[in-house]
Structure 1
Amino acid sequence: MLAAVPVSEPLLLREDRDGVATLRLNRPRQFNALSEAMLDALQREIGELAADTSVRCVVLAAAGKAFCAGHDLREMRGHPELAYYQALFARCSKVMQAIQSLPVPVIARVQGIATAAGCQLVASCDLAIAADTARFAVSGINVGLFCATPSVALSRNVSTKRAFDMLFTGRFIDAATAADWGLINEAVPEAELDAAVARKAEVILSRSPAAVRYGKSMFYRQRQMALADAYAFAGDVMARNMMEEDAGEGIDAFLAKRIPK
């Protein structure tokens, strides 16, 4: 009699509840390392989320003791070819950009460690809340590999000298430091992590869906523009937002001192 083949767990779990979609990295024994298959699963799911108008907020979480330990180094060493590495890092960069391209806010829920591409994942999310026991690093330099792609997201969250310090020393920073430096929004006791993430999501859900979608798209695009171009673009976005029913109702309610519908 043939032995039963064990069914492998999905690499990425999704749960939807009241407009909030939670994606959970599910390789806990590998500290949720970003294997090729994990990156593909993330890309597919983010694509589906982008087209799902019922989703108004996304939470990116992880199973087990760690949030994400970065790329799967064992898998990487099994393919010592330049073309492979170029394709892998391009694939990872595409996932990070897809997170920012989602029309709704993405909140990172962080526990344990977030290192290298895992730290990049946190930095690529719009918001991040971590357990006060979490730690962050871009520590590739410690094994002779500069965290070049993580540096792109990191340097857009923290100051130049702080990013340089982390990248060139490979040192870990704790959650309180990460909050002070702007890598995360807040650090809370681990037992309160889910409640803190839920509170942030609830605030987003209470806001106009149209305003949130206009706002996220505009926010990242204007950062890459010259000042005059940014103001011109922002003015057009704001004018279009004013034409939405949500804005009209919200302003009318404010003027009438009533709760908007």
Structure 2
Amino acid sequence: MTDAAATSQTAETPLLATLLHEGVYRIVMQRPESMNALSSAMMSALSAELAKAAENPDIRVILLGAEGKVFCAGHDLKELTAARADADGGRATYERIMRQCADLMQQIVRHPKPVIAVVTGVATAAGCQLVASCDLALATDTATFCTPGVNIGLFCSTPMVALSRNVAPKQAMEMLLTGESIDASTAKEFGLINRIVPRDYLETVVQKYASAIASKSALTLKTGKEAFYRQLEMPLDQAYDFAANVMVENMLARDAEEGINAFLQKRAPNWTDS
């Protein structure tokens, strides 16, 4: 398969760099001068790339990374502050931006392809929310995470939604109430990230991790990811009924038949994603 590279950009400033290689699609935020803040423009660019990736059958897994020392500093506070000069004191702007952020996070959760955060720096506030919203997260041993809104009089209420669905309640509240940073080791202990990798080995581990997922049936990944998030919100009996129905439909798929036959015949499966 031919590698494909592209750049999403605003009128002047490149926001994202993208690269597709062997089923793995990299999306890299490249606004280090703004600490890769989730401005309205950045969120629009991310949403557009995710939408395109959802429709591209060559893409099987997505890596979300960033340039610079800060993975993502959360919302663009300068953008939010400027809106205070509006006639309504910024209410309409704040409602639009918070809705846009919520939609982006849900787009990641509902995306048919697995999305993996690759964190090489600080992930704070909505940046921490972005990590928590991804299906998996790999981080360097120097990465840090925090929800510091309480320190500036703005409780991290929307980051709280993703955070509380990834870590235990008391650990989430610790982060939200203190606003203090946690290191990668603590983030792994909390359940916010999956693995910690020394910076020198990051690329090797990320590529191995992503390639292993990309080698699976796209239909199976889509089915499983959707079912995982849907059953989380159900009572136990409903979750089992739902999951049983998913298993039945999955068993009837061509890829399940092919995968089982390949296993029994001790050969590699030939996926058709159907």
Task: Report TM bin, short chain.
Answer: over 0.9
TM-score by length of 1: 0.94
Work out which of the residue numbers 26, 29, 39 in structure 1 matches 2:30.
26
Contact 1:49–1:102 (CA<8 Å) still a contact in 2? Answer: no
Work out which of the residue numbers 231, 248, 254 in structure 2 matches 1:245.
254
Moved more, 79-88 or 22-31: 79-88
How far apart are residue 153 of structure 1 and its match? Answer: 0.2
How far apart are residue 10 of structure 1 and its match? Answer: 1.5
The answer to whether structure 1 residue 126 and structure 2 residue 135 are counterparts is: yes
User: Separation in 1 of the partners of 2:207 and 2:22?
Assistant: 11
Please state whether the residue corresponding to 2:14 is helix, strand or coil: coil
Contact 1:67–1:111 (CA<8 Å) still a contact in 2? Answer: yes
How far apart are residue 15 of structure 1 and its match? Answer: 1.1
User: Separation in 1 of the partners of 2:42 and 2:30?
Assistant: 9
User: Separation in 2 of the partners of 1:57 and 1:259?
Assistant: 20
Alignment deviations for residues 108-143 of structure 1 (CA, whole Å, 9 cap, x no partner):
000110000000000000000001000000001111
The answer to whether structure 1 residue 36 and structure 2 residue 40 are counterparts is: yes
Work out which of the residue numbers 3, 8, 21 in structure 1 matches 2:12.
8
2:7 maps to none
Alignment deviations for residues 82-121 of structure 1 (CA, whole Å, 9 cap, x no partner):
2211111111010000011110100000011000000000
Work out which of the residue numbers 142, 150, 165 in structure 2 matches 1:156.
165
User: Separation in 1 of the partners of 2:254 and 2:25?
Assistant: 25
Number of equivalences: 255
Q: Where do 5+ consecutive residues of structure 2 fail to align? A: 1-10, 85-89
Q: Work out the percentage of aligned pairs sharing the same amino acid.
A: 50
Q: Where do 5+ consecutive residues of structure 1 fail to align? A: 1-6
1:3 maps to none
How far apart are residue 259 of structure 1 and its match? Answer: 3.4
User: Separation in 2 of the partners of 1:258 and 1:12?
Assistant: 40
Contact 1:107–1:197 (CA<8 Å) still a contact in 2? Answer: no
User: Separation in 2 of the partners of 1:255 and 1:125?
Assistant: 34
Please state whether the residue corresponding to 2:83 is helix, strand or coil: coil
Please state whether the residue corresponding to 1:258 is helix, strand or coil: coil
The answer to whether structure 1 residue 224 and structure 2 residue 250 are counterparts is: no
TM-score by length of 2: 0.90
How far apart are residue 256 of structure 1 and its match? Answer: 2.9
How far apart are residue 253 of structure 1 and its match? Answer: 2.3
Moved more, 131-140 or 205-214: 205-214
User: Separation in 2 of the partners of 1:27 and 1:253?
Assistant: 46
1:203 maps to 212
User: Separation in 1 of the partners of 2:239 and 2:105?
Assistant: 23
2:79 maps to 75
1:256 maps to 265
Query: How large is the RMSD of aligned CA atoms in angstroms?
Result: 1.2
Please state whether the residue corresponding to 1:257 is helix, strand or coil: coil
1:113 maps to 122
Please state whether the residue corresponding to 2:71 is helix, strand or coil: coil
Contact 1:134–1:175 (CA<8 Å) still a contact in 2? Answer: yes
